[in-house]
Structure 1
Amino acid sequence: MDFSEVIKNRYSCKKFSDRKVEKEKLDKILEAGRVAPTAKNLQEQHIYVVQSENGLAAIDKVTPCRYGAPVVLVVSYNKNNVFTYPGEKRDSGIEDASIVATHMLLAAYNEGVDSCWINFFNPDELAQALNLPEDEEVLMLLDLGIAVEGTKVLPNHNSRKELTETVTYM
């Protein structure tokens, strides 16, 4: 698929069917995250592929936003393996994990798999529910699956400000 079509047409799916995500497609999605750039190439991300009944039930206890997705990727990063920027007020953890997540959600659309970026949860509760290592910070959840037939994008999906409103040349 043409990249401009991927970035223009990908949307946040809020109603997944019970169809499984094919392993080959899931592998390509995960590979897209693996090759994403990270600061100093630290690759501090860790992706948990949750598809078991128990794992999905644990996610359902901390967020109402799984929307029936058969696969949820938990995107986290090792907070002890990040690059600290000059001024020591920011580090690379959130941005690197965000780049990884973005690569995966775009790859998902390219593979015909719908997705939704989820931040509506308490990351500490989720980490505890999934028994994740203490040195990892959960950034987000990425619901993956196939949309229920007839699911449509929101009416305002293609409503965008003009570049003149969001870009300043200096």
Structure 2
Amino acid sequence: MNFLELAQKRCTTRGFTEKIIPKAYLDKILSAGRVAPTACNKQPQRIIVVQKPQNICKVQKAYKTFGSSCVLIVCRDTRESLIRPFDQKCSGDLDIGIICDHMMLQARELNIGSVMVGLFDPKIISKEFDIPEYIEPTALIILGYPKEGFLSLKRHNTERKPLSETILYEKYPKKID
């Protein structure tokens, strides 16, 4: 399968079976995150793998897990991010996004579904998992085998804007309709 096919196959999954992800597959997913590029190779990611039922319950205090038996709490070490000197923009969220994307694509190649969540309560996650202050819970990746299969590749024809609406060449026009 080529990359564009893999990217088209990756979709959000919200509903998982009880089937456990084999350790070899989980290791492959985590390895994909490990090789993801980060700003100046700072590698700010700190990933907590949550699989024990009592710890899945802790995650559920901050966000639903859709029946998954594996959640990755993707954190960033705030001491390891690149800060852009021109406007003090931190690279951390970009780094974490790239890392998560690599892991979700690897999961999809293994026929494992995923959903990346940013809309969770990080204070609950920090408290429940004894995360130090300088480690920021940034995303949850909820993994598992889809209960109802994967979405159709044809969805991109109707759910995505055409390139002509999102791509600009050479400069931003003064007026976009």
State the TM-score, normalized to the length of structure 2: 0.89
CA deviation string 1:98-143 (max 9, x = no partner): 1111100011001111101112211122111111121111111001
Matched, 1:10 2:10: yes
Partners of 1:39 and 1:8 in 2: CA distance = 26
Question: Which residue among 152, 155, 158 is the counterpart of 1:157?
Answer: 155
2:173 is matched with which residue? Answer: none
Distance (Å, rounded) in 1 between the aligned partners of 2:143 and 2:155 = 19
Percent of residue pairs bearing the same amino acid type: 33
Flag as ranges the 4+ runs of structure 1 deviating above 6 A.
none
Paired with 2:154 and 2:126, the residues of 1 have a C-alpha distance of 34
Secondary structure of 2:123's counterpart equals helix
Tell me whether 1:118 sits opposite 2:121 in the alignment.
no
Shift of 1:45: 0.5
Correspondences of 1:49-68 after superposition (within 5 Å) = 49-64=49-64, 66-68=65-67
Task: State the 1:151 CA deviation.
Answer: 3.6
Q: CA deviation at 1:84?
A: 0.7
Match for residue 34 of structure 2?
34
Long gaps (5+) in structure 1: none
Opposite residue 44 of structure 1, the aligned amino acid is P
TM-score (norm 1): 0.93
**8 A contact 2:46–2:75 mirrored in 1:** yes
| Structure of greater Rg | 2
CA distance in 2, matches of 1:67, 1:157: 22
CA distance in 2, matches of 1:7, 1:155: 10
Query: Structure 2 unaligned runs (5+)?
Result: 171-177
RMSD: 1.6
State which drifts further: 33-42 or 112-121: 112-121
How big is the shift at 1:86?
Answer: 2.2
Q: For the Cα contact (< 8 Å) 1:15–1:151, is it kept in 2?
A: no
Shift of the alpha carbon at 1:52?
0.8
Q: Deviations over 1:41-96 (max 9, x none)?
A: 011111110001121010111112x1011100010110111111022431111111
AA paired with 2:40?
K
Q: How far apart are 1:154 and its partner, in Å? A: 7.8
